[in-house]
Structure 1
Amino acid sequence: MAERTVETGGITLCTESFGDRSDPPVLLIAGLGASMLWWEDGFCRMLAEGGRFVIRYDHRDTGRSVTYQPGRPGYTGADLVGDAARVLDAYEIPAAHVVGVSAGGALAQLLALDHAGRVLSLVLISTSSAVPGDRALPPPTEEFLRFVSTARVDWSDADSVIDYTVAYARVLAGGRRPFDETAARGLVRRDVERAHDFAAARNHDALPDGEHAPGPLSAIAVPTLVLHGTADPMFPLPHGEALAERIPGGRLVALPDAGHGVDRADWATVVPAILAHTA
């Protein structure tokens, strides 16, 4: 694995690669507010050992990528989509298999619509449609909504941010499996300590909605695999089902009792599924 800071399109993005450059490339896109650390090292190594050249990167305002003043992002969601293409440019990769989780899955869909030639295939994990549809989809669970409406955090205090983020990770896990708080706390602490300014990640919540008008999901013309937990509290399973239905040839694999994100307990299922899909 090799961490590399790249200057691309006038901005600085921190990236890291795993595996052999001669292998098929896989670009990992994290959710909003999440640095590349949320694609855990062990997960990336498993993909690389399966014969893939894996790239993960910090979004703007996370980790060691360009950081803006909290409350003043100075960029749009469309810029985050463009950043994925910029990372590929920095590695001189014409097109890659793209794997996105949560809002990173929405960014991956928009990448496939806006930069179709850059995407070989899509894997969409714990996400929903980036394009509004007709089908009524269920809202987040009551527990999730209660947490986001009542949780308090002092963004100037690292310990407060760590406690809040770990508690949020517990809610996202869905409640049907044991929650490994020690592992979660270790990951969150590394994330906070590594960031230029951990409070800047809040800028992702301030990005305007609706400034981007992509084509319909039916215009996505690459093989698409949807992986979705049956206990996802943010996007209940029908979100994944609808996504697989709307993208031509989309295929859904439900992850029993999995919550939102890529749980270590599911690596043994998720990694082989990605390797098979990107073969």
Structure 2
Amino acid sequence: MTTIDVGGITLGIEMFGDGDAPLVLLAGGTTMLSWPDALCERLAAGGRRVVRYDLRDSGESTTADPEAPAYTLRDLAADAAALADALGGGPAHLAGIGVGGMVAQVAALDHPAAFSALTLVGTRAVAPGPPDDDLPDHDGATMRRLFARPLPEWTDREAIAGFMAAGAEILGDDPVTARALAARIWDRTPGTAPQVQMANQMGMVFSRLDCAPRWRERLPGIRVPTLVVHGRRNRFFPVGNAEAIAREIPGARLLLLEEAATTIPEAAVGGVAEAMLGLG
């Protein structure tokens, strides 16, 4: 892991594979660790140069004030394009997971020359807040269970790991994997300020961003090969959100992970890697 400066912003990155191979750029959701190590390794073994990175206010990237971000969704999209340019080698295959998938959609629309393919994992085509009438919202019972829990002490590594494991179980993800991931995120979070730890673990900064203007109506303008990956059991962004994206981006392929929720489980890594490599 290292950092790179683009446009006055520092972004934390990690590289896999041959430096001369075609670039696959993985936008964190919000930290780079949202992308499983095994998937990065599979893509690299398939002849790709893989770079996963932290969004602003997470991981090793520029941290300002997660409670009052002075940037917008479109700034995060511009970061992706600038990073692809700085890494070189021509247009990149851009992939985003969760909130990173929203960043990736806007990046492909605002900076089409920067990207040759698009993968969108566990995301939707509208910003945080109430969805459009034709899109399913977060599952109400799941959200009530998630937010009924008292928050942990954000400077207590073990308390955070337990909190994130319990949340993963509510969402339908693997709690053991979530516990280990939370500990890794804690270990690489710069500083111990509670709001910084919370931003790294939960990505709450994204809900405070200016996400205007809307981009859903622009999705038919995406002209690169696109893969939409979604867990059939995703109760945070129910599967209808992925189906809508796949309908509205011309030629997009929808890959449903039957036993997955919000993350890419280990059993699905091979199939997701194969589908991503198939985009070119």
Is the TM value for this pair above 0.5? yes
The aligned residue for residue 159 of structure 1 is 158
Provide the rounded CA distance (Å) in 2 between the counterparts of 1:219 and 1:265.
33
State the TM-score, normalized to the length of structure 1: 0.88
Are the equivalent residues in 1 in contact too, given 2:101–2:124 (CA < 8 A)?
yes
| CA deviation vs aligned residue, 1:56-106 (integer Å, no higher than 9, x gap) | 011111111111234232222221111111221221243101111112111
Provide the rounded CA distance (Å) in 1 between the counterparts of 2:154 and 2:11.
23
Report SS of the residue matched to 2:210: coil
State the TM-score, normalized to the length of structure 2: 0.88
In the alignment, which of 163, 175, 187 is matched to residue 193 of structure 1?
A: 187
Instruction: Give the superposition deviation at 1:199.
Output: 3.4
**Is 1:11 aligned to 2:13, yes or no?**
no
Question: Structure 2: 5+ residue runs without aligned partners?
Answer: 192-196
Provide the rounded CA distance (Å) in 2 between the counterparts of 1:209 and 1:151.
28
The aligned residue for residue 110 of structure 1 is 106
Report percent identity of matched pairs.
Answer: 38
In the alignment, which of 28, 31, 39 is matched to residue 43 of structure 1?
A: 39
In the alignment, which of 120, 130, 133 is matched to residue 116 of structure 2?
A: 120
The aligned residue for residue 204 of structure 1 is 206
Are the equivalent residues in 1 in contact too, given 2:9–2:62 (CA < 8 A)?
yes
RMSD: 2.2
Are the equivalent residues in 2 in contact too, given 1:68–1:200 (CA < 8 A)?
no
Report SS of the residue matched to 1:97: strand
The aligned residue for residue 169 of structure 1 is 168
Are the equivalent residues in 1 in contact too, given 2:131–2:137 (CA < 8 A)?
no
In the alignment, which of 182, 185, 194 is matched to residue 176 of structure 2?
A: 182
1:57-76 matched pairs, under 5 angstroms:
57-76=53-72
In the alignment, which of 82, 92, 103 is matched to residue 86 of structure 1?
A: 82
Provide the rounded CA distance (Å) in 2 between the counterparts of 1:49 and 1:62.
28
The aligned residue for residue 19 of structure 2 is 21
Work out the number of aligned pairs and report it.
269
Report SS of the residue matched to 2:33: helix
1:259-278 matched pairs, under 5 angstroms:
259-278=261-280
| Change over 3 Å in CA distance of 1:44–1:144 after alignment to 2 | same
